[in-house]
Structure 1
């Protein structure tokens, strides 16, 4: 179990480094119009916007699944 957690952590760290290097490359080697198309107008806060989007999507999916399970549970208890 500890090995698995270690390798997951290594994978996450490598992913973070790769994404930051790719963003730095895009910022340094593309014209402003292309950067705004790829990264949006607020180029300094792309990671925070991405994280906010992931959390929002996760919460929406969680609430939908919770409502589905509650409906199924309540329907099953009524029988």
Structure 2
């Protein structure tokens, strides 16, 4: 179990380093217009914007599903 956790941690660390190196490479070796197309105009907060977008999408799906379940539950007890 400890070995597995160790290797998962190593994999996560390698992934973080690879992503940061790739982003640095893209920022250093692409023209400004191409960079803005790929990373957006706010290039300093790409990860935060991505996580925020994923969270907002999750919240919308959760609220929609909760409404569906509440309606189904209410239908069951009205009849």
TM bucket by the smaller chain?
Answer: 0.7 to 0.9
Residue aligning to 1:72 = 72
Residue 71 (structure 1) shift:
0.8
1 CA distance for matches of 2:61 and 2:17?
Answer: 28
Query: Hey, what's the Cα distance between the residues in 2 that align with 1:20 and 1:34?
Result: 18
What stretches of structure 2 of length at least 5 have no aligned partner? Answer: none
Extract unaligned runs of 5+ from structure 1. Answer: none
- Looking at structure 2, the residues matched to 28 and 58 of structure 1 have their Cα atoms a distance apart, in angstroms, of 33
> TM-score normalised to the size of structure 1?
0.79
- What is the root-mean-square deviation in Å for CA atoms of aligned residues? 2.2
Q: Show the counterpart of 2:27.
A: 27
> Alpha-carbon deviations, 1:34-79, whole Å to 9, x = none?
0001011111111111111011001001101111111111111122
Give the alignment's TM-score, normalised by structure 2.
0.79
